[in-house]
Structure 1
Amino acid sequence: MIAAIDHVQLAAPPGAEDDLRAFYAGILGMTEIPKPPLLAARGGCWFRAGSVQLHLGVEPDFRAARKAHPGLRVTDIEAYAARLEARGARLTWDDDLPGHLRFYAQDPVGNRLEFLEPAPTG
């Protein structure tokens, strides 16, 4: 039986690791976690925030997906969005999901990321 998602893998072009670190650690506030040595030799980098892990793997003929994306649940979405914008991230708010506040952003290589929080009730 499936119990949880262990991680989400996103792709990136070769040589993008420094830009990815600046975005995922510097802007999003995630922590880089070490890759096992055999996997580290392939390039890319891994990040964690709480129990959420995003793995960025190198893909030589990389093309960012236009629709596919992880949906990342956040708390205090307005403050989080302000933090990202203050650090240079461009956000697109979307109110098409009933009962949620959400926005989209792109990482430095064009991966789409969704950030959402249940809307306050009452």
Structure 2
Amino acid sequence: MALGPVAQIHISVTDLDRSVAFYRDVLGMSLQFVVPGQPMAFFASGDVRLYLGVPENPEFRTRTVHYYSVTDLDAEYARLQALGVEFLDEPHVVHRDDSGDLWMTFLEDPDGHKIALTQLKK
């Protein structure tokens, strides 16, 4: 069996309403739907669906790092700072090659999951 591209990523959260507000209102992601009566919400994230859920079994709680490419890292950094987001670092170069410079900065969601914002500057 050959594996295809990633279709969905699950992120365990502790407070669904708080996390939906963060991903929708702060990060600006497109909320697809919330499952009525279930602690689940789904967002469109490019070709991948992001699934936020509150796990019933604590053994299924995970910490993740997820990476999002943005078109203007400096502008997104400033926009999120203006909304009160605290970053773990400032935008900086993490890799250079013939295709350009890869810039990155990290922040955390309300449950402490690391989020990297990246931009390839040519």
TM score, norm. by length of structure 1: 0.77
- After TM superposition, give the deviation of residue 44 of structure 1 in Å: 2.5
Q: 1:52-108: per-residue Cα shift (whole Å, max 9, x none)?
A: 43211112427562xx31111111111111111111111123636212111111111
Instruction: Note the aligned Cα RMSD (angstroms).
Output: 2.2
Matched residues in 1 for 2:90 and 2:3: separation? 32
Conservation of the 8 A alpha-carbon contact between 2:16 and 2:53: no
Candidates 81, 90, 95, aligned match of 1:93? 90
Structure richer in strand, relative to its length: 2
**Runs (4+) off by over 4 Å:** none
Quick one: which amino acid aligns to residue 110 of structure 2? P
How many aligned positions are there?
113
Q: Give aligned-pair identity as a percent.
A: 25
Go from structure 1 to structure 2 and tell me whether the alpha carbon gap of 1:93 and 1:3 turns closer, same or farther (over 3 Å shift).
Answer: farther
Structure number with the bigger relative contact order (C-alpha 8 A, sep ≥ 6) is 1
TM score, norm. by length of structure 2: 0.77
